[in-house]
Amino acid sequence: MWMCVVKIPRVKFDQDRNQVILSDPSKPDLIPLEIKDVLKAYSFAIFNQEKIWIDPTGFEEDTLCPGILHLIIDQDYQFRYVNYLAPSSSINHEDSPIIFSDMLRKCLDLVKGSL
């Protein structure tokens, strides 16, 4: 992974200036960039409980689908952020009620299948 070879200058916090500065401005000490968590973002077009599209275009999001789900997950598929924009008509809709936990599971299955 390219992030493993990235190096950044070592810095320190200068309390007198109240800012972060280079540890040694005359000779910057480069250290490897440490990435603790790799996060991935996904969008889904939610039409109903059975029809879910992964990574819809802006046009599809804005004009075709009634609901949008945004997920940020880590490398262990743990949710870090969830945002669901549902139409008001989906609440208590008897023809195709959206069960949120089932929808999340289906979206995760789509993510795992796309890797």
pLDDT, tens digit (0-9, with 9 covering 90-100), for 28-68: 889 888 877 889 999 999 887 778 899 998 888 778 888 88
Name the H helices within 1-115: 58-59, 100-114
- The predicted pLDDT at position 35 comes to 77
Q: Residue ranges per domain, the chain?
A: 2-32, 40-114
- The predicted pLDDT at position 4 comes to 61
- The predicted pLDDT at position 82 comes to 92
Nearest 10 degrees: CA dihedral of 29, 32, 36, 38?
A: 130
- The predicted pLDDT at position 90 comes to 47
| The token pair that represents 107 in the structure block | 């979206």
The residue to which tokens 């870090």 are assigned = 80
Return d(Cα 82, Cα 64) in angstroms, integer. 21
pLDDT for residue 71 is more than 70: yes
Mean per-residue pLDDT of the chain: 82
Buried b (16+ CB within 10 A) or exposed e, 24-52: eeeeeeeeeeeeeeeeeebbbbbebeeeb
- The predicted pLDDT at position 80 comes to 92
Return d(Cα 72, Cα 74) in angstroms, integer. 7
The SS3 call for residue 74 is coil
43 against 96, higher pLDDT: 43
